[in-house]
């Protein structure tokens, strides 16, 4: 399976992370996204007229949406990650997959604005990102009340992988995660999964293992 990939792209990282968690080896084809804009050149535009990465090729199959790639990888190799064990859970996974694109459009665009000076109204993008984070926080609090650590289950599903990267990188776009304790707890849970891999800006949990203990009189 070949992944057209850019190391700093959270959307590409979703696919790399999913593959690593389920033990699939990808053939990585690096794309010169910046400064070369290779994703807008003739070779990649022929594969994906939308002009975005990631692109995943498996034989004749070409996928150009990261959510579809997560579904494909899980369905092929580790169906438990689809969260298909109940109809309600399967629907909740779909709900979060759709939601994840709002994170890309808000937090992702704010990050591109800050990192690559992309045009855009940064105040609006941040406001949309904060609104999306509030929804995510509320969803995770509900899950916590149900006794479940992840978005659709007590086990991770593709919904968590779809939402995690843009959330973890929100501070790159100037959006803080400080007001979102449930999100920070969930981020820890994702980062401590067996097989977790890093990308620049998203690290493992090593520095927090064992979990920090608040000493009496310290606060």
Q: Which residues bind ligand GSH (CB under 6 A)?
A: 9-11, 39, 51-54, 65-66, 104, 108
Q: How far is the CB of 54 from ligand GSH (least distance, A)?
A: 6
Nearer to ligand GSH, 92 or 111 (CB): 111
Nearer to ligand GSH, 54 or 129 (CB): 54
Q: How far is the CB of 65 from ligand GSH (least distance, A)?
A: 5
How many Cα atoms sit within 13 Å of 168 on the Cβ side? 27
Q: Identify the H or E element spanning 55.
A: strand 55-58
Task: Work out the number of other CB atoms within 10 angstroms of the CB of residue 58.
Answer: 16
Nearer to ligand GSH, 149 or 166 (CB): 166
Phi, psi for residue 58 in degrees, rounded to 5? -140, 100
Which class for 34: exposed (0-12), middle (13-18), buried (19 or more C-beta within 10 A)?
Answer: middle
Nearer to ligand GSH, 45 or 123 (CB): 45
Nearer to ligand GSH, 149 or 151 (CB): 151
Q: How far is the CB of 194 from ligand GSH (least distance, A)?
A: 25
How many Cα atoms sit within 13 Å of 22 on the Cβ side? 24
Q: How far is the CB of 138 from ligand GSH (least distance, A)?
A: 23
Nearer to ligand GSH, 10 or 139 (CB): 10
Cβ-Cβ contacts under 8 Å for 17 (sequence gap 6 or more): 161, 164, 165, 196, 197, 199
Q: How far is the CB of 47 from ligand GSH (least distance, A)?
A: 12
Q: How far is the CB of 94 from ligand GSH (least distance, A)?
A: 15
d(CA 181, CA 19): 28
Selection from 148, 147, 13 nearest residue 83 by Cα: 148
Task: Work out the number of other CB atoms within 10 angstroms of the CB of residue 101.
Answer: 16
């Amino acid at each position: 399976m070949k992944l057209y990939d850019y190391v700093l792209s959270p959307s590409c990282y979703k696919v790399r992370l999913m593959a690593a968690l389920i033990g699939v080896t990808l053939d990585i084809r690096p794309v010169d996204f910046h400064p070369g804009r290779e994703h807008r050149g003739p070779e990649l535009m022929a594969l994906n007229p939308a002009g975005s990465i990631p692109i995943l090729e498996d034989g004749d199959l070409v996928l150009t949406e990261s959510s579809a790639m997560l579904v494909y990888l899980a369905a092929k190799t580790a169906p438990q990650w689809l969260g298909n064990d109940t109809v309600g859970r399967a629907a909740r996974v779909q709900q979060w997959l759709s939601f994840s694109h709002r994170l890309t459009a808000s937090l992702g665009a704010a990050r591109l604005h800050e990192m690559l000076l992309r045009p855009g109204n940064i105040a609006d993008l941040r406001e949309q990102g904060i609104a999306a984070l509030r929804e995510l926080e509320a969803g995770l609090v509900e899950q916590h009340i149900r006794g479940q650590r992840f978005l659709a289950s007590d086990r991770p599903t593709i919904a968590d992988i779809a939402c995690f990267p843009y959330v973890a990188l929100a501070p790159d776009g100037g959006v803080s995660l400080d007001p979102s304790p449930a999100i920070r707890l969930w981020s820890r849970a994702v980062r401590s999964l067996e097989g977790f891999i890093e990308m620049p800006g998203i690290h493992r949990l090593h520095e927090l293992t064992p979990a920090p203990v608040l000493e009496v009189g310290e606060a």
